[in-house]
Amino acid sequence: MSALKIHNTLTKQKETFVPINKGEVNLYVCGMTVYDFCHIGHARVMVVFDVVSRYLKYLGYNVKYVRNITDIDDKIITRSIESGEDFKQLTKRFIDEMHQDEASLNVLSPDIEPLATDSMEAIITMIEQLIANDNAYVGPNNDVYYCVESFENYGQLSGRKLDDMNAGERVDVDSSKRNPFDFVLWKSAKPDEPSWSSPWGNGRPGWHIECSAMATCCLGNHFDIHGGGMDLQFPHHENEIAQSEAATGEKYVNTWMHNGFVRIDDEKMSKSLGNFFTVRDVLKKYRGEEIRFFVLSSHYRSPLNYSDDQLNESRSALERLYTALRDVTPVKNEVKSTYIEQFENAMNDDFNSAKAIAVLFECANELNKLKHTQPEQAAKTAADLLTMAEPLGLLSQDPDLFLKSMAGQDASISNEEIEAQINQRLEAKANKNWSLADQIRDSLKEQGVILEDKGPETTWRRG
């Protein structure tokens, strides 16, 4: 088996992964800002890093996975005011909705899920340290700002240099800042907004400092992997590095991972552009596993083009895999198969789930050939297929139940009605009424039900 290599955004190259502490991996991922339902872009972050965590565990690492929740920021306050709902009630409601979406996508809960509002003491302590180190200052408006010029390596993650950036075009000019690219660490309170007491007066933290405080509190000053969407690379993650390393004097993160955008009609999917689909809406038409398969069908760093055609292909692909597993009782293979080796080589190449899924189909094709000729080998091949699917979070359902489920949409015909018509067809065949038997089969097919005759028995699935 090849060694695990991960593309590190910091160095712009694939690197052999070596954890800080042997056998242990500390992983932090920027989570959701909870003021609305999760969209497919959020689903990609959830699924991608769920697979990263699962596969690291598959390799035998003891993984501590932290994914934060941002439960106070400008968008949350604005939505709270618009809806007339207390911000705590608002965020609690959307945290619950987020967890429901996760469960639908078979995303495992992170080990720790810190809230920004529960981390105020750590946030204030880090800001105090930055001020003491001359990396931050209190502005004339009583906001606290990070001084980007005080950090020599600012821009190391994104490749941007302060001297090369046109401040007038990229940021709003704020007379309270010493440099237009200085960013806020603590915002002084405005009337009727949520606030917390601090040495600089009542206020609330800036977004960037929240993640630095939560990550270091949960995982220490220096940890293995930090992940998130590509849109967070600058300025959020750049600012995280600057403030964390300036406060602690230690390297913040060894490996940075960023997943690509979800795109609609060649545009990035986002709430600001108004071209997004919520997970909840997509689940009305598609199973959670179909959405998950769709996400994993492309390499995590590549753009993911959303369309019904792509999701329909994911549905058909899963049906093929589950059909291969149908009527086979897996028996663990004591010898690592060629399929397992190919799967591990794919995943060890920067978590290449698309290539890994191709191996699953090769295994499923072999399983279909063996089912009726070599049942003992078929049982081992089925076990190999499930072994590979588990770290991807796929094929965890009973094959028969999956193939007979309603695929996320209202079925025109119930399972009971299907079974009744199959019995009528079997009776027609027994009476050699082939015309009626064909008529029933064709009628069911028009309603999305596929019959499969196996000797005297008939199985079915929704297609």
- Residue 445: how many other CB atoms lie within 10 Å: 12
Residue 211 marked ligand-binding: yes
Count of beta carbons in the 10 Å neighbourhood of residue 49: 26
Burial class (CB in 10 A: 0-12, 13-18, 19+), 245: buried
336 is in an annotated binding site: no
HEC sequence for the chain: CCCCEEEECCCCEEEECCCCCCCEEEEEECCCECCCCCEHHHHHHHHHHHHHHHHHHHCCCEEEEEECEECCCHHHHHHHHHHCCCHHHHHHHHHHHHHHHHHHCCCCCCCECCEHHHCHHHHHHHHHHHHHCCCEEECCCCCEEECHHHCCCCCCCCCCCHHHCCHHHHCCCCCCCCCCCCEEEEEECCCCCCCECCCCCCEEECHHHHHHHHHHHHHCCCEEEEEEEHHHHHHHHHHHHHHHHHHHCCCCEEEEEEECCEEECCEECCCCCCCCCEHHHHCCCCCHHHHHHHHHCCCCCCCEECCHHHHHHHHHHHHHHHHHHCCCCCCCCCCCCHHHHHHHHHHHECCCHHHHHHHHHHHHHHHHHHCCCCHHHHHHHHHHHHHHHHHHCCCCCCHHHHHHCCCCCCCCCCHHHHHHHHHHHHHHHHCCCHHHHHHHHHHHHHCCEEEEEECCEEEEEEC
The reply, when asked if residue 236 is annotated as ligand binding, is: yes
Is residue 271 part of an annotated ligand binding site?
yes
Point out the annotated binding site: 30, 211, 236, 240, 271
Specify binding-site residues for Zn(2+).
Answer: 30, 211, 236, 240
- Binding region for ATP: 271
